[in-house]
C-alpha cells in the first residue's frame, strides 16, 4: 500500500492538489485528504510540489533492438527495464522493424514476457515491415486471439524503399485479419503502419478506408512528422478523425538541419490550431530502433538510435516552446494511446485504474515512478532494475 500526499494531480486533466492511495496494484482513492489507520503498513510519499500523472505509455518500441541497415555491426541493443522506468514509462508495446529474420516473433514475445516479469505492463504487435506478415502462429487472427500480449499487427512498412512493397490487396487482407482478430478477442486489433519518405505517403491507408468497411480507428500511422509533405497529409487525415503518431527525437536540433522533419511540439501545435481534437495524436519513441541515413540514391550513410527518454522531452517542449497546457500535452503519452490500444485500465489517474504513476518535479525531471503498485524509481533513481542491467 502506498499513500501519496499533497501532489498536483493530472488525470491527465488537472484536478488540483490531492492525496492518492494505491493498494493491490490499483488506484483506490483520490481525495483532498486521506487518513488511514495507523496500524496499516503503508509507504507514504510526499508529493508536495510534484506533478502526479498516469504512467507513460510508449506504444512503439524495438525492445529487441533494431538496425542492420548497413550491416550486422549496426544492430542496436535490446531495451532495458530502467531504460523505461527512469523516464516515467510504465507500459510498452514492442515491435519488429526492418529485420524480421534476425529478430523474430518468438524472441519478441519472450522479451515482452521478461519485461512483464520485471514489473512493466508490456504488449506487442505481430509481424515486422514485411508483407505477407511473419506471425508467431499460423496467422494474424490466431496470434491476436491466442497470445495475450499481442494486440495488433505492425510495424507494417509502406511508402518506403525498405518495405516489401505490398499491393493494395495484400495490405487490405492483413488489415481485415487484424480487425477480425481484435473483434474476436476484445483487443484493439490495431494496424501500426510505418510511413516512409515516398510521395505516396498514406495512400494505402486512405484507399482502404475509402474502399472498404475498415474504419480509420483501426490504424495508427507512425512517423507522421518525418517530413513536411507527409505531415501535411497527416493533418488532413487527423481532421477526418484518424489518430496520428508522432515519433519523438532527442536529436531533432541535428535532424532539422539535414531534412525537413517536423519538430513534435510544432506539429502538435499545428494540429490544435487547425481544430484537430487533442484526443487524436500520440507520441512514441521508436526506442532502440535504428535511425539510418541514406543518400538520394539509397546509399547507406550512417545510423543513430531512438531513445525512450524522448517522450518526456517532447512533452516538455510542448509546454515550454509552444505553450501547450501540460494536461493536453501529456495526453499524447497517457490517455490517448490507452484509448487507441484499448488498454482499459491504463492512461488515467482514477479509482479502479492500474496503479501506474509518474511524478515529475516542476522542471520536468522524473522523481517517482510506480508500476502496478510497485515503486520502480525513487528520487529520480531506479530502485528496481532488470536482472542483467
> Which among 286, 354, 356, 367 is annotated as catalytic?
286
Q: How far apart are CA 8 and CA 279, in angstroms?
A: 22
> Which residue is it, cell 495490405?
171
Tell me if 40 sits within 8 A of 3, measured CB to CB: no
CA distance 132 to 166: 8
Instruction: Name the nearest CA neighbour of 352 among 98, 84, 34, 21.
Output: 21
Taking CA atoms, 156 is separated from 69, 102, 174, 176, 376, in Å, by 17, 17, 10, 14, 33
Residue 286 annotated in active site? yes
* Assigned C-alpha cell, 157: 512498412
- Catalytic positions are 286
Amino acid at each position: 500500500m502506498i499513500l501519496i500526499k499533497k501532489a498536483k494531480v493530472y488525470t491527465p486533466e488537472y484536478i488540483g492538489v490531492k492525496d492518492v492511495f494505491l493498494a493491490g496494484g490499483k488506484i483506490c482513492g483520490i481525495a483532498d485528504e486521506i487518513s488511514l489507520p495507523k496500524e496499516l503498513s503503508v509507504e507514504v510519499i510526499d508529493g508536495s510540489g510534484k506533478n502526479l500523472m498516469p504512467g507513460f505509455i510508449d506504444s512503439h518500441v524495438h525492445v529487441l533492438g533494431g538496425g542492420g541497415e548497413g550491416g550486422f555491426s549496426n544492430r542496436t541493443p535490446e531495451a532495458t527495464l530502467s531504460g523505461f522506468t527512469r523516464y516515467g514509462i510504465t507500459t510498452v508495446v514492442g515491435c519488429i522493424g526492418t529485420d524480421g529474420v534476425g529478430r523474430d516473433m518468438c524472441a519478441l514475445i519472450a522479451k515482452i514476457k521478461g519485461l512483464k516479469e520485471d514489473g512493466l505492463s508490456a504488449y506487442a504487435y505481430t509481424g515486422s515491415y514485411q508483407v505477407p506478415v511473419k506471425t508467431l502462429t499460423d496467422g494474424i487472427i490466431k496470434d491476436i486471439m491466442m497470445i495475450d500480449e499481442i494486440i495488433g499487427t505492425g510495424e507494417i512498412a509502406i511508402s518506403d524503399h525498405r518495405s516489401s512493397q505490398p499491393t493494395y490487396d495484400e495490405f487490405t487482407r492483413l488489415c481485415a485479419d487484424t480487425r477480425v482478430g481484435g473483434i474476436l478477442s476484445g483487443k484493439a486489433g490495431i494496424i501500426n503502419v510505418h510511413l516512409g519518405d515516398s510521395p505516396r505517403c498514406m495512400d494505402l491507408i486512405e484507399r482502404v478506408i475509402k474502399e472498404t468497411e475498415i474504419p480509420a480507428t483501426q490504424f495508427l500511422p507512425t512517423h507522421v512528422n518525418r517530413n513536411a509533405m507527409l505531415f501535411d497529409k497527416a493533418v488532413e487525415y487527423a481532421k477526418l478523425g484518424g489518430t496520428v503518431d508522432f515519433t519523438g527525437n532527442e536529436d531533432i536540433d541535428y535532424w532539422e538541419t539535414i531534412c525537413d522533419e517536423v519538430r513534435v511540439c510544432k506539429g502538435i501545435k499545428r494540429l490544435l490550431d487547425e481544430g484537430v481534437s487533442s484526443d487524436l495524436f500520440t507520441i512514441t519513441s521508436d526506442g532502440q530502433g535504428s535511425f539510418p541515413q541514406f543518400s538520394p540514391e539509397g546509399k547507406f550513410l550512417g545510423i543513430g538510435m531512438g531513445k525512450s527518454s524522448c517522450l518526456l522531452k517532447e512533452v516538455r517542449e510542448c509546454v515550454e516552446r509552444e505553450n501547450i497546457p501540460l494536461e493536453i500535452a501529456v495526453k499524447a503519452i497517457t490517455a490517448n494511446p490507452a484509448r487507441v490500444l484499448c488498454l482499459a485500465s491504463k492512461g488515467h489517474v482514477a479509482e479502479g485504474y492500474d496503479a501506474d504513476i509518474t511524478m515529475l518535479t516542476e522542471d520536468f525531471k522524473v522523481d517517482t515512478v510506480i508500476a502496478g503498485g510497485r515503486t520502480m524509481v525513487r528520487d529520480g533513481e531506479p530502485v528496481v532494475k532488470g536482472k542483467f542491467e
